Amino acid sequence: MLKNRCVKIIGAGLAGSEAAYFLAQHGMKVKLYEMKTIKKTPAQISNNFAELVCSNSLKNEQPLSASGLLKKELKALDCFLLKCAEASRVPSGNSLSVDREKFSKLVTETLKSHPNIEIINEVVQDFDTSIPTIIATGPLCDDALFKYISSLVGDENCYFYDAIAPIVSVDSIDHSRAFWANRYDQGDSKDYLNCYMYKDEYEIFVDALINAERAKLHKFEKIKVFEGCMPIEILASRDKNALRYGPLKPVGLSKKVEGEKPYAIVQLRKENTLGSCLNMVGFQTNLTYGEQKRVFRLIPALKNAEFVRYGSMHRNSYVCAPKCLNVYSQMIKYPNIFVAGQISGVEGYVESIASGLYSAINLLQYTQGKPLLSLPKTTIIGALMQYISGTEANNFQPMNANYGIVECQNIPDKNQKKQLILETSLKEIKKFKEKIYG
């Protein structure tokens, strides 16, 4: 029993911040290590915690969607970061999107002012495996630290490439070639700026996109890209109409422009509360900065676009969870060590938050000498945690929230099935919470 001992958390990203708050609220003394004031990863800009680097969207809120149900599960468990997201949200239809700066600032100020949390600005390169610790470095883990972690769990060379979408200034957009609307009229407000293209404009854009120069990556690495964050130029190269059936689909928007239905539509989402900056939805890219400016300005509404941030691509590392973690996110060989967030093999912002909370719950149980807790596959969190620890190691890839991994009886009607999953899930979450609080 390790009651009243100090715990360490390495990384103040989404998973680490959620874990730190939960443990501190439960009376644990937390040493939270964060390196970004000394050394930033290629995707980081701010010094604040829980920085959202790829997008400001936490995805769909509809309870019958997998991402919506995940949020409901977290809300039922009093998730700290979800409360911060609600307090800093910006309109985006049925999605939960936040003002990144406000969100990170709120998380940072709360953690820094907590009496049970000590912030340590340090580039951690190794750690004592006898001290209860949560590794929550994120996928851009420092090279020296990831090398040390690999020495503990075995070097499986697990990685994939992730990409970031550009952000443009709203004042630089030609609004005569765009209109505000939500797809399928979801939500009460019009939260997306729709930059439309006709067929000839789309074809010129796609040809330029496919042939544009891409930023160089390490020659010795086989490029593995996560499907959920596919660079737009790679998607376009698969088929010239792939974008029209993906991020540029012209459906769900009834507006006709000059009597003609748009052939393709680029959607821009508010990046901050003021709406002064817009994120290019689905435009994750590895084009060089110069090519991004040239090619994306072929979109008529963006012909004079000013880029507040260009898109980029970076390598994400993760451990082979089925070989080294149990269902509690605990290292099999080193029971004092728990792994949370994207480095554990979950993919997505909310999934990382869920992983951080789940790991913190089990670290608390462990330090108090109580049985560790798992959730069944009938919940999104449980299905996700059981997937990353129990899937076939040789085929292991990062996973996000989806109904494909959730256990449920076969019901032909999809909505009825989703409703049953929702009801079953929340009942299981309630039981889980009762075990935590006694």
Per-residue pLDDT tens listing for the chain (438 residues): 455 579 999 999 999 999 999 999 999 999 999 999 999 887 788 999 999 887 888 999 999 999 999 999 999 999 999 999 999 999 888 899 999 999 999 999 999 999 999 999 999 999 999 999 999 998 888 889 999 999 998 866 677 777 889 989 898 999 999 999 988 777 666 789 999 999 999 999 999 999 999 987 654 345 555 556 688 999 999 999 999 999 999 988 866 666 678 999 999 998 877 788 899 999 999 999 999 999 999 999 999 999 988 988 877 888 999 999 999 999 999 999 999 999 999 989 999 999 999 999 999 999 999 999 999 999 999 999 999 998 887 778 788 898 889 998 888 888 899 999 999 999 999 999 999 986
52 and 107, same domain (yes or no): yes
pTM exceeds cut of 0.85: no
Residue 322 covered by a domain: yes
Domain that holds residue 54: 7-158+318-437
- Considering the domain architecture, whether residues 169 and 111 belong to the same structural domain is answered as no
Same domain? For 28 and 151 the reply is yes
Q: Are residues 152 and 33 part of one domain?
A: yes
Residue 401 lies in a domain: yes
Q: Are residues 127 and 149 in the same domain?
A: yes
Cα–Cα distance, 211 to 230 (Å, whole number): 17
Looking at the structure, tell me whether residues 325 and 393 fall in a common domain.
yes
Same-domain check for residues 87 and 134: yes
Q: Is residue 335 part of a domain?
A: yes
- 44: tokens are 């980081």
What is the total count of domains within the chain? 2
Same domain? 365 vs 429 = yes
Evaluate whether residue 245 is within a structural domain: yes
